[in-house]
Amino acid sequence: MSVAFIGLGAMGLPMAKRLMGAGFDVHGCDIAPGPLDALKSAGGQASTNPAEALRGASAVFVMTATGAQAQTVLFGAGEAASAATRGAIFILQCTQSAAMARDLGARLEALGHHVLDAPVSGGAVGAEAGALTVMASGSEAAFAAAAPLLRPLAKTVYNIGRELGLGSTVKTINQLLAGVHIAVGAEAMALGAKAGIEPKLLLDILMSGAAGSWMLGNRGPRMLEDEPAVTSAVDIFVKDLGLVDDLARGLRQPAPIAMAALQQFIAASAMGDGRQDDSQVVRLYEVTGATHVRGKGKTP
Protein backbone atom coordinates (compact mmCIF):
# COMPACT_ATOMS: atom_id res chain seq x y z
CA MET A 1 0.00 0.00 0.00
CA SER A 2 1.22 3.48 -0.87
CA VAL A 3 1.23 5.76 2.17
CA ALA A 4 1.81 9.52 2.20
CA PHE A 5 3.10 10.95 5.47
CA ILE A 6 2.80 14.72 5.90
CA GLY A 7 4.97 16.15 8.69
CA LEU A 8 8.24 14.43 9.59
CA GLY A 9 8.96 16.07 12.93
CA ALA A 10 10.13 14.51 16.18
CA MET A 11 7.17 12.11 16.14
CA GLY A 12 6.36 11.95 12.44
CA LEU A 13 9.73 10.68 11.25
CA PRO A 14 9.90 7.66 13.58
CA MET A 15 6.26 6.88 12.79
CA ALA A 16 6.99 6.93 9.07
CA LYS A 17 9.97 4.64 9.60
CA ARG A 18 7.83 2.19 11.59
CA LEU A 19 5.33 2.08 8.74
CA MET A 20 8.17 1.28 6.36
CA GLY A 21 9.35 -1.45 8.71
CA ALA A 22 5.85 -2.92 8.57
CA GLY A 23 6.06 -3.18 4.79
CA PHE A 24 4.27 -0.02 3.65
CA ASP A 25 5.60 2.10 0.77
CA VAL A 26 6.00 5.52 2.40
CA HIS A 27 6.35 8.87 0.65
CA GLY A 28 7.10 11.55 3.25
CA CYS A 29 6.61 15.29 2.95
CA ASP A 30 8.16 18.09 5.00
CA ILE A 31 9.72 21.51 4.48
CA ALA A 32 12.88 20.67 6.45
CA PRO A 33 15.68 18.90 4.56
CA GLY A 34 17.02 16.95 7.56
CA PRO A 35 13.98 14.68 8.07
CA LEU A 36 13.60 14.18 4.32
CA ASP A 37 17.21 13.03 4.06
CA ALA A 38 16.71 10.71 7.03
CA LEU A 39 13.63 9.16 5.45
CA LYS A 40 15.42 8.66 2.13
CA SER A 41 18.37 7.06 3.92
CA ALA A 42 15.91 4.62 5.51
CA GLY A 43 14.55 3.66 2.08
CA GLY A 44 11.51 5.92 1.78
CA GLN A 45 10.56 8.52 -0.78
CA ALA A 46 10.70 12.18 0.17
CA SER A 47 9.35 15.43 -1.19
CA THR A 48 8.70 19.04 -0.21
CA ASN A 49 5.64 19.04 -2.50
CA PRO A 50 2.46 17.72 -0.80
CA ALA A 51 0.68 16.94 -4.07
CA GLU A 52 3.66 14.89 -5.21
CA ALA A 53 3.72 12.96 -1.94
CA LEU A 54 -0.04 12.25 -2.08
CA ARG A 55 -0.21 11.32 -5.75
CA GLY A 56 -1.73 7.84 -5.95
CA ALA A 57 -1.64 7.31 -2.19
CA SER A 58 -4.20 4.95 -0.63
CA ALA A 59 -3.53 6.27 2.88
CA VAL A 60 -2.45 9.69 4.13
CA PHE A 61 -1.15 10.54 7.60
CA VAL A 62 -1.35 14.24 8.51
CA MET A 63 1.08 15.04 11.34
CA THR A 64 1.44 18.79 10.95
CA ALA A 65 1.86 21.01 14.01
CA THR A 66 -1.55 22.67 13.60
CA GLY A 67 -4.88 22.17 11.91
CA ALA A 68 -4.35 25.38 9.95
CA GLN A 69 -1.18 23.89 8.46
CA ALA A 70 -3.13 20.76 7.55
CA GLN A 71 -5.74 22.88 5.76
CA THR A 72 -3.03 24.69 3.81
CA VAL A 73 -1.16 21.51 2.89
CA LEU A 74 -4.24 19.61 1.73
CA PHE A 75 -6.32 22.39 0.16
CA GLY A 76 -3.85 25.17 -0.61
CA ALA A 77 -1.93 25.63 -3.83
CA GLY A 78 -1.78 22.32 -5.66
CA GLU A 79 -4.93 20.89 -4.00
CA ALA A 80 -2.90 17.97 -2.65
CA ALA A 81 -5.96 16.20 -1.20
CA SER A 82 -7.25 15.62 -4.73
CA ALA A 83 -4.02 13.84 -5.69
CA ALA A 84 -4.69 10.87 -3.43
CA THR A 85 -6.57 7.84 -4.73
CA ARG A 86 -10.32 8.34 -4.39
CA GLY A 87 -11.49 6.48 -1.30
CA ALA A 88 -8.13 6.88 0.46
CA ILE A 89 -8.05 6.90 4.26
CA PHE A 90 -6.89 10.22 5.72
CA ILE A 91 -5.64 9.85 9.31
CA LEU A 92 -5.60 13.30 10.89
CA GLN A 93 -3.12 13.31 13.79
CA CYS A 94 -2.43 17.01 14.21
CA THR A 95 -3.59 18.72 17.40
CA GLN A 96 -6.50 20.94 16.37
CA SER A 97 -9.89 22.11 17.53
CA ALA A 98 -12.89 19.84 17.14
CA ALA A 99 -14.47 22.38 14.79
CA MET A 100 -11.42 22.39 12.53
CA ALA A 101 -11.29 18.58 12.53
CA ARG A 102 -14.95 18.46 11.46
CA ASP A 103 -14.41 21.06 8.74
CA LEU A 104 -11.29 19.40 7.38
CA GLY A 105 -12.98 15.99 7.52
CA ALA A 106 -16.05 17.24 5.66
CA ARG A 107 -13.90 18.66 2.87
CA LEU A 108 -12.01 15.40 2.52
CA GLU A 109 -15.18 13.31 2.58
CA ALA A 110 -16.62 15.53 -0.16
CA LEU A 111 -13.74 14.33 -2.33
CA GLY A 112 -14.74 10.71 -1.66
CA HIS A 113 -12.11 9.97 1.00
CA HIS A 114 -12.48 8.30 4.39
CA VAL A 115 -11.36 10.31 7.42
CA LEU A 116 -10.27 9.35 10.94
CA ASP A 117 -9.84 12.13 13.50
CA ALA A 118 -6.99 10.42 15.33
CA PRO A 119 -4.57 12.57 17.35
CA VAL A 120 -1.94 10.78 19.41
CA SER A 121 -0.12 10.95 22.72
CA GLY A 122 3.16 9.42 23.79
CA GLY A 123 5.80 11.77 22.41
CA ALA A 124 8.87 10.88 20.41
CA VAL A 125 9.60 8.01 22.80
CA GLY A 126 6.22 6.43 22.10
CA ALA A 127 6.55 7.06 18.36
CA GLU A 128 9.91 5.30 18.20
CA ALA A 129 8.63 2.34 20.22
CA GLY A 130 5.32 2.00 18.39
CA ALA A 131 3.57 2.56 21.71
CA LEU A 132 1.43 5.63 21.03
CA THR A 133 -2.05 6.17 22.39
CA VAL A 134 -4.51 7.05 19.62
CA MET A 135 -7.76 8.83 20.49
CA ALA A 136 -9.91 8.40 17.41
CA SER A 137 -13.35 9.11 16.03
CA GLY A 138 -14.85 8.45 12.62
CA SER A 139 -16.96 6.06 10.60
CA GLU A 140 -16.74 2.28 10.84
CA ALA A 141 -15.23 2.26 7.34
CA ALA A 142 -12.55 4.75 8.43
CA PHE A 143 -11.64 2.67 11.49
CA ALA A 144 -11.43 -0.49 9.36
CA ALA A 145 -9.22 1.18 6.75
CA ALA A 146 -6.92 2.71 9.38
CA ALA A 147 -6.55 -0.38 11.59
CA PRO A 148 -3.62 -2.06 9.76
CA LEU A 149 -1.82 1.27 9.47
CA LEU A 150 -2.14 2.11 13.17
CA ARG A 151 -1.11 -1.36 14.33
CA PRO A 152 2.69 -0.76 14.02
CA LEU A 153 2.36 2.68 15.63
CA ALA A 154 0.06 2.34 18.61
CA LYS A 155 -0.16 0.53 21.90
CA THR A 156 -3.84 1.45 22.21
CA VAL A 157 -6.42 2.83 19.78
CA TYR A 158 -9.49 4.26 21.52
CA ASN A 159 -12.74 4.39 19.56
CA ILE A 160 -14.45 7.48 20.95
CA GLY A 161 -17.38 7.58 18.53
CA ARG A 162 -18.54 8.22 14.99
CA GLU A 163 -18.46 12.03 15.03
CA LEU A 164 -15.34 13.70 13.69
CA GLY A 165 -13.98 16.11 16.29
CA LEU A 166 -14.41 13.81 19.29
CA GLY A 167 -10.83 12.61 18.94
CA SER A 168 -9.57 16.18 18.84
CA THR A 169 -11.65 17.07 21.88
CA VAL A 170 -10.04 14.30 23.93
CA LYS A 171 -6.59 15.35 22.68
CA THR A 172 -7.29 18.91 23.82
CA ILE A 173 -8.12 17.62 27.30
CA ASN A 174 -4.96 15.49 27.19
CA GLN A 175 -2.95 18.63 26.41
CA LEU A 176 -4.51 20.41 29.38
CA LEU A 177 -2.91 17.89 31.70
CA ALA A 178 0.34 17.65 29.73
CA GLY A 179 0.87 21.42 29.70
CA VAL A 180 -0.01 21.83 33.37
CA HIS A 181 2.36 19.00 34.31
CA ILE A 182 5.27 20.63 32.44
CA ALA A 183 4.63 24.06 33.95
CA VAL A 184 4.18 22.81 37.50
CA GLY A 185 7.18 20.50 37.10
CA ALA A 186 9.31 23.51 36.18
CA GLU A 187 7.86 25.37 39.16
CA ALA A 188 8.79 22.53 41.51
CA MET A 189 12.31 22.21 40.12
CA ALA A 190 12.92 25.96 40.43
CA LEU A 191 11.55 26.05 43.98
CA GLY A 192 13.84 23.19 44.98
CA ALA A 193 16.84 24.86 43.37
CA LYS A 194 16.08 28.13 45.19
CA ALA A 195 15.93 26.16 48.45
CA GLY A 196 19.40 24.73 47.77
CA ILE A 197 18.42 21.19 46.67
CA GLU A 198 20.60 19.77 43.89
CA PRO A 199 18.25 19.55 40.86
CA LYS A 200 19.21 16.07 39.66
CA LEU A 201 18.79 14.64 43.15
CA LEU A 202 15.44 16.40 43.53
CA LEU A 203 14.21 15.01 40.22
CA ASP A 204 15.25 11.48 41.20
CA ILE A 205 13.40 11.78 44.51
CA LEU A 206 10.23 13.18 42.95
CA MET A 207 10.15 10.49 40.28
CA SER A 208 10.54 7.74 42.87
CA GLY A 209 7.40 8.73 44.78
CA ALA A 210 3.80 9.79 44.37
CA ALA A 211 4.71 13.14 42.78
CA GLY A 212 6.20 11.46 39.71
CA SER A 213 4.42 11.64 36.35
CA TRP A 214 5.13 10.66 32.75
CA MET A 215 5.62 14.31 31.81
CA LEU A 216 7.99 15.05 34.68
CA GLY A 217 9.99 11.92 33.90
CA ASN A 218 10.22 12.89 30.23
CA ARG A 219 10.69 16.67 30.51
CA GLY A 220 12.44 16.85 33.89
CA PRO A 221 15.85 15.65 32.64
CA ARG A 222 15.68 18.21 29.82
CA MET A 223 14.98 20.96 32.36
CA LEU A 224 18.48 20.27 33.67
CA GLU A 225 20.10 20.80 30.24
CA ASP A 226 21.23 24.19 28.99
CA GLU A 227 20.22 23.55 25.37
CA PRO A 228 18.15 20.36 25.07
CA ALA A 229 17.04 19.04 21.69
CA VAL A 230 13.63 20.42 20.71
CA THR A 231 11.02 17.67 20.63
CA SER A 232 8.04 19.95 21.28
CA ALA A 233 8.42 23.72 21.45
CA VAL A 234 7.16 26.19 24.03
CA ASP A 235 4.97 27.73 21.32
CA ILE A 236 3.24 24.39 20.77
CA PHE A 237 1.82 24.64 24.27
CA VAL A 238 0.87 28.27 23.72
CA LYS A 239 -1.23 26.87 20.87
CA ASP A 240 -2.48 23.72 22.64
CA LEU A 241 -3.45 25.41 25.90
CA GLY A 242 -5.10 28.07 23.75
CA LEU A 243 -7.27 25.27 22.35
CA VAL A 244 -8.09 24.30 25.94
CA ASP A 245 -9.12 27.91 26.60
CA ASP A 246 -11.35 27.93 23.52
CA LEU A 247 -12.98 24.62 24.48
CA ALA A 248 -13.58 25.66 28.09
CA ARG A 249 -15.00 29.05 27.16
CA GLY A 250 -17.28 27.50 24.55
CA LEU A 251 -18.65 25.07 27.13
CA ARG A 252 -18.74 27.69 29.90
CA GLN A 253 -16.55 25.35 31.97
CA PRO A 254 -13.93 26.89 34.29
CA ALA A 255 -10.32 25.81 33.66
CA PRO A 256 -8.28 28.17 35.88
CA ILE A 257 -5.25 25.91 36.38
CA ALA A 258 -4.88 25.35 32.63
CA MET A 259 -5.09 29.10 32.10
CA ALA A 260 -2.38 29.73 34.68
CA ALA A 261 -0.13 27.27 32.83
CA LEU A 262 -0.97 28.97 29.52
CA GLN A 263 0.21 32.30 30.91
CA GLN A 264 3.55 30.74 31.89
CA PHE A 265 4.10 29.43 28.36
CA ILE A 266 3.07 32.78 26.88
CA ALA A 267 5.54 34.54 29.18
CA ALA A 268 8.31 32.09 28.23
CA SER A 269 7.58 32.72 24.56
CA ALA A 270 7.58 36.49 25.09
CA MET A 271 10.96 36.11 26.78
CA GLY A 272 12.31 34.74 23.47
CA ASP A 273 12.07 31.00 24.17
CA GLY A 274 9.10 30.16 21.97
CA ARG A 275 11.12 27.85 19.74
CA GLN A 276 12.98 26.21 22.60
CA ASP A 277 11.97 22.79 23.90
CA ASP A 278 8.82 23.10 26.01
CA SER A 279 10.78 21.94 29.07
CA GLN A 280 12.52 25.30 28.88
CA VAL A 281 9.55 27.04 30.44
CA VAL A 282 11.85 26.42 33.42
CA ARG A 283 13.94 29.38 32.20
CA LEU A 284 11.06 31.68 33.06
CA TYR A 285 11.12 30.42 36.64
CA GLU A 286 14.90 30.83 36.75
CA VAL A 287 14.67 34.46 35.69
CA THR A 288 11.72 35.46 37.84
CA GLY A 289 13.08 33.61 40.87
CA ALA A 290 16.75 34.55 40.40
CA THR A 291 17.77 30.90 40.69
CA HIS A 292 19.19 28.25 38.38
CA VAL A 293 18.04 24.74 37.55
CA ARG A 294 19.94 24.11 34.32
CA GLY A 295 23.63 23.28 34.05
CA LYS A 296 26.11 23.20 36.88
CA GLY A 297 26.46 26.32 38.98
CA LYS A 298 25.30 28.63 36.21
CA THR A 299 23.02 31.60 36.57
CA PRO A 300 20.22 32.07 33.99
The residues annotated with a catalytic role in the active site are 171
Cα torsion 222, 223, 224, 226 to 10°: value is 80
Q: At what angle do helices 98-110 and 67-75 cross, to 10 degrees?
A: 20
Judged by DSSP in three states, 115 sits in strand
Q: Cα–chain-centroid distance for residue 36?
A: 19
Judged by DSSP in three states, 269 sits in helix
Neighbours of 29 (CB within 10 A): 30
Residue type at 262?
L
Beta bridge pairs of residue 136: 159
Measured CA to CA, the distance from residue 171 to residue 30 in angstroms comes to: 23
Numbers of helices and strands, H then E, in the chain: 13, 9
Which residues have C-beta within 8 Å of that of residue 218, sequence separation ≥ 6? Answer: 123, 125
